[in-house]
């Protein structure tokens, strides 16, 4: 039996920028003419949100948030290096990047030979590392392992798609940011990578281009797309993937990458702040290895709480349940003003 490591991280885009720009999503909502007047001032916010925003409009909170995230990534990288994987599988979403109107697969293994990206090519703002706009990052892919996993998944009853070349985008930010952040100190990332796309955004992947919109720009119910895969299906897919990895010739690290409830997807909170209580409940279930709660959470509840990207973590929960694992380390980085709370988790063999 091969050894399998489980990790949970985030791919929070503002971490790649500066502290000054970390609150840009909140500021966009505050500038939205459709936001009710009572929510434009901190006086109309939850107390915890007002406290985090503080007297410096979140500047101090941004510094603390970055420190917590960097600490989480340093620890995840330490664990990964100690494990020395032959293959790193990353469950991540595609936000109208590689997959668009021509095809939206529920799941797709990106079995590329190599992964190449220029993350700052179209960024006008400075990045956290002051890297030039034309900087190129190259990572090893693993077509052979991708073919192996796709074959075994299909034979197990999971008709996953696969690709050997990108379609519209070299590498979506869910995967690229994970690699950039796992190498925050820029010492290199030597492990072969197999991105495993999950259509987390479902009804909003084309209708909303899986992104930030103002209140007046949100698509009407009749304009939404078909749904994402059901949480129970993501859970069962993760379980099958773990069993296959454990019987494979590879030492495999399975990584789920996403933040949890997103403010810009939480309509009931006027897109102003995430559903922190719903995230706390999932974190409690994670700490207790309450896998039943993760598998049985209805998609409607996930969508209502803006937790679409948690489907990546549902895959990881299924995998760890199949292997009989409990988390060896966890950390919950809560926020009300930086769009989404984040979680880090380690499941060592």
Question: Mind listing the pLDDT tens digit for each residue in 208-261?
Answer: 998 999 999 999 999 999 999 999 999 999 999 999 999 999 999 999 999 999
pLDDT given for residue 124 in this prediction: 84
Could you list the residue range(s) of the whole structural domain that residue 150 is in?
A: 4-347
**What pairs with residue 157 in β-bridges?**
none
- Ranges of beta strands (E only) in 240-309 are 252-257
Cβ–Cβ under 8 Å, residues 92 and 197: yes
Sheet containing 252-257: give its strands across.
161-163, 107-110, 193-198, 87-93, 252-257, 4-9, 342-347, 329-333
pLDDT given for residue 3 in this prediction: 97
pLDDT given for residue 149 in this prediction: 98
Look-up: residue for tokens 């500038």? 31
Look-up: residue for tokens 């489907």? 311
Residue ranges of the chain with per-residue pLDDT less than 50? none
DSSP state letter for 9: E
For the chain, what is the domain count? 1
- Distance, in Å, from the CA atom of 295 to the CA atom of 12, rounded to the nearest integer, reads 24
pLDDT given for residue 179 in this prediction: 98
- Distance, in Å, from the CA atom of 346 to the CA atom of 349, rounded to the nearest integer, reads 10
Quick count: other Cβ atoms within 10 Å of Cβ 37? Answer: 7
> Where residue 208 sits, what CATH number does that domain have?
3.40.830.10
- Distance, in Å, from the CA atom of 241 to the CA atom of 252, rounded to the nearest integer, reads 10
* Tokens found for residue 211: 């992104």
- Distance, in Å, from the CA atom of 292 to the CA atom of 300, rounded to the nearest integer, reads 17
What percentage of the chain carries pLDDT values higher than 90?
A: 98
């Amino acid at each position: 039996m091969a050894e399998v490591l489980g990790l949970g991280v985030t791919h929070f885009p503002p971490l790649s920028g500066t502290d000054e720009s970390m609150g840009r999503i909140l500021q966009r909502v505050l500038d939205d003419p459709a936001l009710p007047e009572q929510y434009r001032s901190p006086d109309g916010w939850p107390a915890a949100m007002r406290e985090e925003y503080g007297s410096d409009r979140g500047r101090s909170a941004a510094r603390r948030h970055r420190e917590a995230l960097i600490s989480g990534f340093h620890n995840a990288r330490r664990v990964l290096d100690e494990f020395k994987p032959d293959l790193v599988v990353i469950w991540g979403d595609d936000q109208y990047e590689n997959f668009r109107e021509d095809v939206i697969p529920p799941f797709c293994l990106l079995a590329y030979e190599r992964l190449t990206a220029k993350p700052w090519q179209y960024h006008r703002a400075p990045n956290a590392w002051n890297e030039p706009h034309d900087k190129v990052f190259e990572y090893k892919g693993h077509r052979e392992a991708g073919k192996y996993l796709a074959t075994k998944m299909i034979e197990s009853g999971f008709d996953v798609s696969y690709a050997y070349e990108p379609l519209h985008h070299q590498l979506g930010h869910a995967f690229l940011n994970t690699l950039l952040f796992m190498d925050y100190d820029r010492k290199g990332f030597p492990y072969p990578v197999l991105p495993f796309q999950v259509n987390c955004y479902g009804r909003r992947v084309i209708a909303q281009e899986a992104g930030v919109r103002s209140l007046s720009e949100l698509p009407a119910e009749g304009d939404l797309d078909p749904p994402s895969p059901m949480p129970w299906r993501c859970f069962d897919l993760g379980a099958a993937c773990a069993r296959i990895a454990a019987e494979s010739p590879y030492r495999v690290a399975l990584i789920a990458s996403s933040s949890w409830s997103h403010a810009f997807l939480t309509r009931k909170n006027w897109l102003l702040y995430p559903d922190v209580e719903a995230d706390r409940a999932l974190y409690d279930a994670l700490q207790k290895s309450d896998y039943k709660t993760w598998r049985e959470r209805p998609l409607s509840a996930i969508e209502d709480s803006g937790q679409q990207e948690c489907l990546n973590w549902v895959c990881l929960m299924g995998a760890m349940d199949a292997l009989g694992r409990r988390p060896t380390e966890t950390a919950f980085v809560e926020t009300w003003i930086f769009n989404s709370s984040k979680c880090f988790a380690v499941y060592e063999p």
